[in-house]
C-alpha cells in the first residue's frame, strides 16, 4: 500500500491498536493511551505480556483486561493480533559473548530480540521503548548501537535520548533512555516544555509515624528539622550524612571513639594503604592497629578499638584480594579494623527534603526513604511513590503486599515522559 493511502486510512480509522510488552504496572500504556486519546484517537491494547504474578494482578485490576500473556519468548508472533505500535520497557541484558562471535549485531538470547522478532513479523507503524540510564554506556555504547542499528534495518526512522523526569513535572530525578521509531520520519526527543515540582507538592500530611529503636535514638540526638535531607549510612562521610555512632544506635560512643571512627572512615579509602598492605585498592580497606596509630596516636588505642568491635561499630577482618573478578579475604595478610555497617542496614537510609527532588527510586531501597511528618519520621506511602512516577491516585495497589508494590514501583516508568513522547507519535501518526 502506498504511503499516501496508508495515511488516508489512518486518518479515517481513529482506532489505534498497540501491544504492551514487559508491561509491569502498565505505565507506558497509561501515558500512551492518554496522549492518543487527547489527540482524538481511540487506543486499543490488543496484547500485553508480563511475568510477575503480582504485576499482572495490579495491571488487570486497573486496566480491566481479560488476559495478560506470560513469557513473551514462548509466544509466536502470528498469535498476536495486528497492531500499529509496540510499547516495551524491556530489561537490559548483556549481549552474549557467544552471540557476538556469530556476528557483532547478533541479538539472540536477549529480551530485545523478542521486540525485534515481533516488529519484523508484524511490521507495525511504530514503537516506543524505555530502558535504564546504564544502557547508554553499556559495553562502551555497543549494546545501544546494536539495538538502534537492528531497528533501522527493520526500516524504521529511529531516535533515542536520555531524558530526566525532573523536567516533566515530577518531583523525582530519574534518567532513562527512550527509543522511538516510525515508518514515516524521525520523532524529535528535544525541546519538550519543561515543568518542575518538589517533593512537598505530592506529600500527604498528618500520617502515622514510626516509633522504633532507630527513630527514638535518632530524635534523642537530632531534632526533626536537623535530619531533613540527611542520609543514614556508616561507610560515607560529609555534612549530609548521619552515622550510626552519632545516634548511639549500637551503644553510646565517647568523644574519643567518635573521633576515631570519623578519621578511620576517611583513611580506609586512601590508596596508599593498599600499596602498604599489598592488595589492589578497594574503596574501604581494613587497617591494622599500627596503621591507625599513624593518624590517631593514643596510648589507649587498642582499648578504644576493642570497645568499638564489641559494640559492633568496627569489625576485625582480613583485607580482600581480587580473585576471578571477586573480592575474597586474603588470609596471608594481617587482620585490620573496618567499618561494619553498609547502607541498607538501617531502617531508614535517607530523610527526604520536601523542598527538593526525591532521588532516583529503586526497588531495593524505596521502602527505606523517610519524610518528617507530625514531628516524627515515616516512610513514603505507596500512593506518594506512585505520584513520583506520575501515576493517578485511582491506580490501586492496596491489595498487594507492601514489598510487592515497592518492587513494582521501583522498576516502573515515568508516565508524564511517556505521555509527552506519545503526543509526538500521535501527531506524526495523523499527519
User: What distance in Å separates the CA atoms of residue 243 and residue 259, rounded to the nearest whole number?
Assistant: 12
Q: Which three cell numbers stand for residue 96?
A: 552474549
Cα–Cα distance, 6 to 251 (Å, whole number): 73
Q: Which helix (H) or strand (E) holds 47?
A: strand 42-48
Q: Which three cell numbers stand for residue 190?
A: 528535544
Dist CA 48 CA 55 (whole Å): 12
Give burial (CB, 10 Å; 0-12/13-18/19+) of 190. exposed
Burial of 9 (0-12, 13-18, 19+ CB in 10 A): exposed
Angstrom distances, CA of residue 57 to CA of 54, 408, 410, 411: 5, 11, 17, 16
CA atoms 19, 24, 27, 30: torsion sign: positive
Burial of 53 (0-12, 13-18, 19+ CB in 10 A): exposed
Residue 45 designated active-site: no
Whether the CA torsion 33, 418, 46, 407 is positive or negative: it is negative
- The whole-angstrom separation of Cα 35 and Cα 41 is 9
Q: Determine phi and psi for 423, rounding to 5 degrees.
A: -60, -40
Q: Give me 12's grid cell.
A: 479515517
Residue 217 to residues 85, 211, 221, 226, 318, Cα–Cα distance (Å): 54, 10, 7, 14, 32
Q: In sequence order, what are the beta bridge partners of 232?
A: 242
Of 51, 92, 148, 301, catalytic? 92
Catalogue the active-site residues.
92
Amino acid at each position: 500500500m502506498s504511503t499516501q493511502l496508508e495515511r488516508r486510512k489512518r486518518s479515517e480509522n481513529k482506532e489505534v491498536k498497540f501491544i504492551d510488552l514487559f508491561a509491569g504496572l502498565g505505565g507506558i500504556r497509561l501515558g500512551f493511551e492518554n496522549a492518543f486519546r487527547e489527540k482524538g484517537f481511540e487506543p486499543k491494547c490488543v496484547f500485553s505480556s508480563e511475568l510477575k504474578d503480582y504485576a499482572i494482578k495490579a495491571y488487570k485490576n486497573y486496566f480491566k483486561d481479560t488476559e495478560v500473556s506470560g513469557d513473551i519468548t514462548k509466544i509466536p508472533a502470528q498469535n498476536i493480533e495486528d497492531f500499529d505500535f509496540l510499547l516495551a520497557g524491556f530489561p537490559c541484558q548483556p549481549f552474549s559473548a557467544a552471540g557476538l562471535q556469530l556476528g557483532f549485531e547478533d541479538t539472540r538470547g536477549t529480551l530485545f530480540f523478542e521486540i525485534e522478532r515481533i516488529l519484523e513479523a508484524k511490521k507495525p507503524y511504530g514503537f516506543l521503548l524505555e530502558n535504564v540510564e546504564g544502557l547508554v554506556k553499556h559495553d562502551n555504547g555497543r549494546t545501544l548501537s546494536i539495538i538502534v542499528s537492528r531497528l533501522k534495518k527493520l526500516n524504521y526512522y529511529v531516535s533515542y535520548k536520555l531524558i530526566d523526569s525532573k523536567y516533566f513535572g515530577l518531583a523525582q530525578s530519574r534518567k532513562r533512555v527512550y527509543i522511538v521509531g516510525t515508518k514515516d520520519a524521525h520523532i524529535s526527543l528535544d525541546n519538550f516544555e519543561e515543568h518542575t515540582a518538589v517533593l512537598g507538592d505530592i506529600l500527604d500530611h498528618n500520617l502515622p509515624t514510626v516509633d522504633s529503636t532507630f527513630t527514638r535514638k535518632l530524635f534523642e540526638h537530632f531534632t526533626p528539622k536537623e535530619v531533613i535531607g540527611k542520609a543514614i549510612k556508616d561507610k560515607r562521610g560529609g555534612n549530609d550524612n548521619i552515622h550510626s555512632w552519632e545516634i548511639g544506635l549500637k551503644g553510646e560512643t565517647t568523644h574519643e571513639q567518635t573521633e576515631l571512627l570519623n578519621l578511620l572512615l576517611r583513611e580506609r579509602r586512601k590508596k596508599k594503604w593498599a600499596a602498604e598492605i599489598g592488595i589492589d585498592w578497594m574503596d574501604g580497606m581494613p587497617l591494622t592497629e599500627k596503621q591507625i596509630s599513624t593518624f590517631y596516636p593514643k596510648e589507649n588505642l587498642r582499648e578504644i578499638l576493642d570497645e568499638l568491635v564489641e559494640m559492633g561499630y568496627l569489625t576485625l577482618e582480613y583485607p580482600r584480594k581480587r580473585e576471578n573478578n571477586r573480592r575474597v579475604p586474603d588470609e596471608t595478610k594481617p587482620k585490620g579494623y573496618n567499618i561494619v555497617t553498609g547502607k541498607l542496614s538501617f531502617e531508614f537510609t535517607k530523610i527526604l527534603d520536601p523542598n527538593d527532588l526525591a532521588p532516583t527510586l529503586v526497588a531495593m531501597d524505596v521502602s527505606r526513604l523517610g519524610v518528617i511528618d507530625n514531628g516524627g519520621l515515616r516512610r513514603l506511602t505507596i500512593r506518594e511513590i506512585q505520584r513520583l512516577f506520575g501515576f493517578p491516585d485511582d491506580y490501586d495497589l492496596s491489595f498487594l503486599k507492601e514489598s510487592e508494590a515497592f518492587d513494582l514501583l521501583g522498576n516502573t516508568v515515568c508516565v508524564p515522559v511517556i505521555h509527552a513522547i506519545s503526543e509526538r507519535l500521535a501527531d506524526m501518526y495523523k499527519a
